[in-house]
Amino acid sequence: MSARQPIVYIVDDDYRVREALQALLASAGYEVVVFDSAASYLNFNRPDRAACLILDLDLPGMNGLELQRKIAGEDTPPIVFLTGHGDIPSTVKAMKAGATEFLSKPFDDEELLRSVEAGLQLDETTRARFAELDVIRKRYALLTPREREVLPFVIAGLLNKQTAWELGTSEITIRIHRGQIMKKMEAESLADLVRLAARLGIEPLSSNTKR
């Protein structure tokens, strides 16, 4: 198996379901890791790879919804819930908490495979987005405190002389700061810099905040 191949995790206390799911997913070419409880999944050291989690709702001990809440966070893989009965309230809770799909047992093989593929694609996209954000954060960390102060003025479209007046410094100083910001942030244009700043949650200086 490739070191970067996506993984499908199965958490179900019914060994027959685990075996059926593992055989189905393996035949479709997926790498599969199975668990018989929420605790065993939590104790597993997950590799840093795209994944999808097939999770039984009715687990003994910590149930599926409780496990979903427990692992909620940026690195939580998309979840496909399985249940042996139609439970509308649980379905609503699971979907609101971010579940990708909610399927009833006995499940349709093709529907489950489509759900898993959708979950893996979603996780790939999410991971790429967070990887890009991490790169942007590292670039931003290279800015000096003064350059960080200048950045909101730049992305607001203010001229160098306007920013210089706002910050009580010279136009040439702002020009230098602006050049350093563009270089360190690796921005190809002002529009690109605005996009990068938006990813960091930095907003342009609004008119009502100008002195």
Cα(149)–Cα(137) distance, rounded to whole angstroms?
16
Which of 80, 105, 132 delimits the end of a domain? Answer: 132
Structure tokens given for 84: 């042996």
Domain assignment of residue 137, yes or no: no
pTM: 0.73
Give 76's DSSP letter.
Answer: P
In the predicted structure, residue 3 carries a pLDDT above the cut 70: no
> Taking residues 111-115, what's their average pLDDT?
95
Residue 9's DSSP bridge partners are 33, 53
State percent of the chain over pLDDT 70: 89
User: Order of strands, edge to edge, in the sheet holding 7-11?
Assistant: 31-35, 7-11, 51-56, 79-83, 101-104
In terms of domains, do 91 and 187 share one?
no
Q: Are residues 54 and 127 in the same domain?
A: yes
Instruction: Indicate the residue among 65, 98, 132 that finishes a domain.
Output: 132
Same domain, 120 and 186: no
Domain assignment present for 2: no
Are 86 and 11 part of one and the same domain?
Answer: yes
Can you tell me the distance from the alpha carbon of 116 to that of 158, in angstroms, rounded to the nearest whole number?
48
Q: What is the CATH number of the domain that holds 112?
A: 3.40.50.2300
Cα distance between residue 111 and residue 33, in whole Å: 20
